[in-house]
Structure 1
Amino acid sequence: MASLWSPPVTQEADLTGQLFISLLNPGIGLLFAGAFFLMWLNRRERYIAYAAGAYVATACAFLIQDLAPVLPMELQRLPANAGFLLTGVLFAAAIIQRYGLPVPWRAMALTAAASLAVFVWFLLGRPSIEGRIYSISLGTGIVALMVVRALWPIDKPHLIDRLLFWVAALCAANLIVRPIVILTFSGGFADYQGFQQSVYWTTVQFSQAMVSVMAAISLMVAVAVDMLAELRAEAQADPLSGLLNRRGFEATANAALRRCDGDGRVAALLIADLDHFKRVNDRYGHAVGDAIITAFGEIVRREGPADMIAGRIGGEEFAVLIPGAGITAARQLAEAIRAGLSATCAGRIPPALTPTASFGLAASTPGAGLSALLRQADQALYDAKRAGRDRVRAFAAPAPAPPLSASA
């Protein structure tokens, strides 16, 4: 009968496996730190730098925890766990800063300081591995909950926004619930060697690796989404006026009109044309013409409602769509722009030059698209020009033809 035999597990194999596990989290941390650093070099956003710093901190913390030489009274644990706390603080700051929210630095610093103070007590005053675990895990978990609290009330329009929120919630659960559950069922540790060989430390190594990867990938996707949005905004923006260009205006206005139509709301369109603009350029130069365009964009942004869609759709032609508004609101905006244009240009153009603009208005009808609305507003604009320029005209639909009388 053949005997079953398996080779003995050598001490060298044990050490190799343990070393591999010990290098797993530092390797992941340094990899993501490098990736975020390269992103920061390209984008120079503060929250990306915070993320890079967080992964440097976690890599250093794991290296000190697992590979640093043992100091008297295990004092090497102090910088290692300070690194874990710093990781939580910096990553929390990265997510919160990404949304332009105020980072609760003071609350996070106080939480980290209290957590570290309790850790020192359980390290030097009343040594307890379990006490040290709870002090650091609960401290970093509370910091993660600060992210959940900060993101809870804000809108999350994209999938990545919701994912970042749930990643923060998962981090908090992993840091708070996991230690309580595992230590309750597995018991304590007689010494640090037993701790490193425990189920708890194995779950720390692998769960932390998984959460780190998930958090890093989520934030990287968020960075990519921000970069795409920035590129899209640049592609749709007119740098001179600060408004949308024609492509950006048409795309945004069409979407707004569809929403208005679906909600049963009206919308008003304003078209403006700078009077005698070619003559201004020929006589005073393009720098003066550019100054007038810049001033026109400024007064539109200043006087217009927050939900308007405004764009420069031609060399000296502008369009403003006001969702939920009628001709009266459009006329008020047009008159405010017309009356304030000269004052807005003051100091930028020759005093003898008084720029003016003509305006055409139109109101949407159910089912009518942007093209039809532009044609109507354009017709009203030509009426304003024919009437002498520097005035506002609204489109008037032609009266329906009278019905033909029946012949006897």
Structure 2
Amino acid sequence: MTAAFVLAINMFIAGIFAVAFGVVAATDPTTRGARWLAVGYATGIVSIPLEFLVPYQVNPAPVTIAIFLVFLLALTFCLVGIAKHYAAAVPWMAITAIWVASVLAVPLTFNLSYGSLPRGLLYQFPYFAMHVLVGLVILRARRRQPLDLLLFTLNGAAALLYLSKPLIAWIVGTAATPQGYMTTTYAALSQSIGSVTLVALALVLLLVMMRDTAAEMAARSETDALSGILNRRGFDLHAERMLARAERADEPLTLVTADIDHFKRINDKFGHAAGDATIAHVAKLLCEPVTGDALVSRLGGEEFAVLLAGATLADGRGYAERVRARLAADPPVHLGVDQIVTASFGVAQVTRGDTLFDLARRADAALYRAKAGGRNRVSLALGELSSAPCGSLQQFAAPNRPAPGFLSTDRESSLLLS
């Protein structure tokens, strides 16, 4: 297989991937970096026809220099595309340094004896450096999924292959002049290596983008557009998993449900825009005091649910009290609501054998009691008091009387547990 044939294949493959990345960029504008990768692979195509021109040049230097710089530009576009996709900072200073050094070294590189080891090293080193930057970008993104590790490994292999090409040329031999390059065994080996790395890296990059696009679509389907937190679908999906983990690990798990008090009055008095802003404001307050593993969701309308992993009933009450106090402290005038906004909360801790429905039912029962008891308060599912540490509960209750929201009679206790 001659180098010319492999070059033609490489041009065809590069064109396919340029179109593929272009289609990804056109169909999903949120796919960061695809446009840069499309331009990178398209730019790489330009260097291939230039290779076919070299044998017909009396002075091949201008064309060979153009090949060198065009391919370096193609790698630069690909580096920027990968950085954009991984939402990492583009290493512009390092890129600039590589370009400045490469351009300044052009007179020395292309005046050295063709086929010599020093010339080969100077020619290939900028390509090696670009791949090193790609590896650093992937590392800094701190993604450790199998495809990311595979991309990092393949990129490292490509970098080493560029650095090894001068040694391969020295071992197998190459032409005495650039015009004879296409007829050498080294050219066939070099272009074959390039073809393999081209296909491997492009395929893995496409798989990474498909994976991330699918994950982003799933996240959008599970996210409430107004508040930015989980919607009911997302909550149910992740809460079931969290409940199963808690059961396996025999760890506490507490559900806090919340409902904005008199929300219809806010909409009627201040308008739906102010009502929407209030919902987003409450969602933000629910997220701020969360530590550790937790799910914060808007179940619909003005109803919210927060599932706290590793939290006891007392922890859940403390969390709910902090949110309730912050919400009731000041009227959100900046949202267009010139009155105090309050919310009521119900708290329930999972017990052995609970389903998500069981836990939600008890938390909702406590929430209804809070609303029936005057709103702007936190109520606990009473049947769980014995399962929570007494000392931790006492810090939320005033001495010599039940804490607000606690139910004390047998009749009330049976209502919560029914």
The alpha carbon displacement at 1:168 in A equals 1.2
Percentage of identical aligned residues? 30
Question: Cα deviation per residue 1:72-101 (whole Å; 9 max; x = unaligned)?
Answer: 352211111112222222222322332222
1:118 aligns with 2:105: yes
- Worse-matched range after superposition: 336-345 or 26-35: 336-345
Counterpart mapping for 1:178-257 below 5 A? 178-180=165-167, 182-257=168-243
The alpha carbon displacement at 1:285 in A equals 4.2
Counterpart mapping for 1:315-334 below 5 A? 315-334=301-320
Partner in structure 2 of residue 397 of structure 1: 383
TM-score after normalising by structure 2 = 0.82
- Worse-matched range after superposition: 299-308 or 220-229: 299-308
Partner in structure 2 of residue 98 of structure 1: 85
**How far apart, in 2, do the equivalents of 1:282 and 1:346 lie?**
16
Q: Is the 8 A contact 1:299 1:344 kept in 2?
A: no
State which of 129, 132, 143 in structure 2 corresponds to 1:142: 129
Q: Secondary structure at the match of 1:303?
A: coil
Q: Secondary structure at the match of 1:340?
A: helix
The alpha carbon displacement at 1:288 in A equals 3.5
Partner in structure 2 of residue 26 of structure 1: 11
Partner in structure 2 of residue 159 of structure 1: 146
Partner in structure 2 of residue 303 of structure 1: 289
- Cα gap change, 1:151 to 1:287, in 2 (>3 Å): closer
The alpha carbon displacement at 1:33 in A equals 1.6
The alpha carbon displacement at 1:235 in A equals 1.1
The alpha carbon displacement at 1:314 in A equals 2.5
- Cα gap change, 1:227 to 1:73, in 2 (>3 Å): closer
State which of 16, 28, 35 in structure 1 corresponds to 2:20: 35
Q: Secondary structure at the match of 2:308?
A: strand
1:127 aligns with 2:148: no
The alpha carbon displacement at 1:318 in A equals 0.3
Partner in structure 1 of residue 354 of structure 2: 368
Partner in structure 2 of residue 56 of structure 1: 42
**How far apart, in 2, do the equivalents of 1:347 and 1:115 lie?**
55
The alpha carbon displacement at 1:121 in A equals 1.0
**How far apart, in 2, do the equivalents of 1:71 and 1:82 lie?**
20
1:79 aligns with 2:69: no
Q: Secondary structure at the match of 2:383?
A: coil
- Cα gap change, 1:62 to 1:116, in 2 (>3 Å): farther
**How far apart, in 2, do the equivalents of 1:305 and 1:397 lie?**
26
Q: Is the 8 A contact 1:271 1:381 kept in 2?
A: yes
Q: Is the 8 A contact 1:78 1:120 kept in 2?
A: no
Q: Secondary structure at the match of 2:234?
A: helix
Unaligned runs of 5+ in 2: 387-409, 411-418
**How far apart, in 2, do the equivalents of 1:266 and 1:119 lie?**
67
Question: Cα deviation per residue 1:109-139 (whole Å; 9 max; x = unaligned)?
Answer: 3234324443431313x33333443223222
* CA RMSD of superposed structures (Å): 2.7
Q: Is the 8 A contact 1:272 1:381 kept in 2?
A: yes
The alpha carbon displacement at 1:201 in A equals 0.9
Q: Is the 8 A contact 1:240 1:290 kept in 2?
A: yes
Question: Cα deviation per residue 1:184-209 (whole Å; 9 max; x = unaligned)?
Answer: 42135322344322222112212211
- Cα gap change, 1:399 to 1:245, in 2 (>3 Å): closer
Counterpart code for 1:129: G
The alpha carbon displacement at 1:304 in A equals 2.8
Q: Secondary structure at the match of 2:296?
A: strand
Q: Secondary structure at the match of 1:312?
A: strand
Q: Is the 8 A contact 1:85 1:136 kept in 2?
A: no
Q: Is the 8 A contact 1:275 1:355 kept in 2?
A: yes
**How far apart, in 2, do the equivalents of 1:189 and 1:114 lie?**
27
Q: Is the 8 A contact 1:291 1:345 kept in 2?
A: no
Partner in structure 1 of residue 272 of structure 2: 286
Q: Secondary structure at the match of 2:307?
A: strand
The alpha carbon displacement at 1:39 in A equals 1.8
Q: Is the 8 A contact 1:147 1:168 kept in 2?
A: yes
**How far apart, in 2, do the equivalents of 1:73 and 1:153 lie?**
41
1:354 aligns with 2:340: yes
- Worse-matched range after superposition: 158-167 or 198-207: 158-167
Partner in structure 2 of residue 335 of structure 1: 321
Q: Secondary structure at the match of 1:265?
A: coil
**How far apart, in 1, do the equivalents of 2:274 and 2:96 lie?**
53
Unaligned runs of 5+ in 1: 1-13, 402-408
Counterpart code for 1:278: K
Q: Secondary structure at the match of 1:76?
A: helix
The alpha carbon displacement at 1:248 in A equals 0.6
Question: Cα deviation per residue 1:295-339 (whole Å; 9 max; x = unaligned)?
Answer: 212222333336421111122210011222233332233223222
The alpha carbon displacement at 1:283 in A equals 5.0
Length, aligned pairs only: 383
Counterpart code for 1:228: A
